[in-house]
Structure 1
């Protein structure tokens, strides 16, 4: 896990045993948004496929068990079962899962030796459509230069600004927090007894991150499931730790 500490302040309805809302900084919101960068194959591997809802676990197992004699010679099953994660704009996002953070591999491109040919291939075994020679000469790919960003307290990487406090709902809806929005929220959630509402600060480790990832795919009450109802049992946590190599 990343060394950065990430905490949440939960507002809990003790009577109904539910999380009303969480107060979060940009680190936690960046983690939630980074879920969208994970390929389906990576999510399936991390969440222990036999415990997943639906059929993706069976599909993942089918690919793993399929003999290589049935796979096209230029293909690798790892592309499906353990895909690479794209490096989105170089964003530095905390709490990325083990063996996922550094799995990005830049693509390589090749061309033939003839100057007048304008074809490019991603495989050095390809044949040029013009001169019919092997396209084995690697060419350098240059990233488009990022926009200039003035140095400030909010320009520290990630997806959202770090000078804002965010509220995260039980169903993971994310909004900027304000005094007015907090009052409106209590009314919207029909909270009439403020004495039954308590605050609780929780720290996120790998167990909680994996629980949040799984619950986000199966539940509309994610924060309650993870932090109040022991969403993960210890045996499943240990299994997942083995998978991700913790």
Structure 2
């Protein structure tokens, strides 16, 4: 089975040896947004790093500032910005390697008494505080959001809509792509010689994504660091 890859089009300033911005599709933006669904422990385990400094705040702010018209109707930005603890295990983002579930029992139990519904445990060996019976009656866990949800009218899934391209800045700030925005950025970066600007298409596999995730915790020039200075 071949490795999954996602393409990314970079606009590179050859003189400054820097990525001005990237033109990305839905798949890459969904991956970036899904970083916020990863528990910190999972990120640490994947990267074997403890340093959380970097530019994740830029990505966080871009999700917060992105208009709801670009978000799938069955999704809520609050799930990304304020994720709940997922007891059933991490949902691994696109392209990342599989992460083994921890040894903690992901099932939930209560005691057999119909009047003691207030107590729940994640281990059947636990004792009910009211009647001291073991918590052996298994409950059904309902995950949110459902992993198999098909409520989106577009059928695309993910977090953002795929009808347009997105602009991803060097610091991972994300915004909808537009010609005006591109021209404004060239002026902002003081790029006057268009001959010094080139397009570069890169493919992201598992290795590149892990490097990108690592750089996002350490740098404010993630795309440049990963694709021009690796």
Alignment TM-score, normalising by the size of structure 2: 0.73
- Tell me, in whole angstroms, the C-alpha distance in 2 between the residues paired with 1:7 and 1:99: 21
- Going from structure 1 to structure 2, the CA distance change for 1:191 and 1:165 (only over 3 Å counts) comes to same
Q: How many residues align?
A: 193
Q: Deviations over 1:202-224 (max 9, x none)?
A: 11112211110111011111111
- Structure 1: state its 5+ residue gaps: 56-82, 231-246
In structure 1, the partner of 2:116 is: 117
Deviations, residues 165-215 of structure 1 (Å, cap 9, x unaligned):
001011111110011111111111111111110111011112211110111
- The answer as to 2:202 corresponding to 1:198 is no
- What CA distance in whole angstroms lies between the structure 2 residues aligned with 1:173 and 1:144? 27
Q: Displacement, 1:33? A: 1.3
- Measure, in 2, the Cα distance between the counterparts of 1:93 and 1:44: 15
Greater mean alpha carbon deviation, residues 212-221 or residues 106-115: 106-115
Q: Deviations over 1:78-129 (max 9, x none)?
A: xxxxx97434xxxx9521x1123x7498832212222232233222122222
Q: Equivalents in 2 of 1:142, 1:93: separation in Å? A: 20
Query: In structure 1, how many angstroms separate the alpha carbons of the residues matched to 2:183 and 2:26?
Result: 22
Q: Which runs of 5+ in 2 are unaligned?
A: 54-86
Cα distance in 2 for partners of 1:119, 1:53 equals 40
RMSD: 2.9
What is the CA deviation profile of residues 120-161 of structure 1, one whole-angstrom value per residue up to 9, with x for unaligned ones?
322212222222222211122345796873532xx3111111
Match in the other structure for 1:226 = 226
Structure 2 partner of 1:149: 151
Find the counterpart in structure 1 of residue 135 from structure 2: 135
| Higher normalized contact order (CA 8 Å, seq sep 6+, divided by chain length) | 2
Query: Structure 1 pair 111/150, CA: closer, same or farther in 2 (3 Å)?
Result: closer
Residue in 2 that maps onto 1:47: 47
CA distance in structure 1 between the partners assigned to 2:41 and 2:145 by the alignment: 30
Partner Cα separation in structure 1 for residue 165 and residue 117 of structure 2: 51
Aligned counterparts of 2:214 and 2:144: Cα–Cα separation in 1: 35
**Paired position in structure 2 for 1:180:** 180
Secondary structure at the residue paired with 1:218?
coil
The TM-score normalised by the length of structure 1 is 0.69
SS at match of 2:128: coil
Q: Report SS of the residue matched to 2:133.
A: coil
**1:2 positional shift:** 8.2
Cα distance in structure 2, aligned partners of 1:172 and 1:150 = 26
Distance across 1 between alignment mates of 2:192 and 2:225: 23
Q: Provide the rounded CA distance (Å) in 2 between the counterparts of 1:192 and 1:145.
A: 47
Contact 1:93 1:158 in 2 (8 A): no
Task: Determine the structure 2 residue equivalent to 1:166.
Answer: 166
- Cα displacement (A) at 1:41: 2.1
Maintained 8 Å contact 1:93/1:157: no
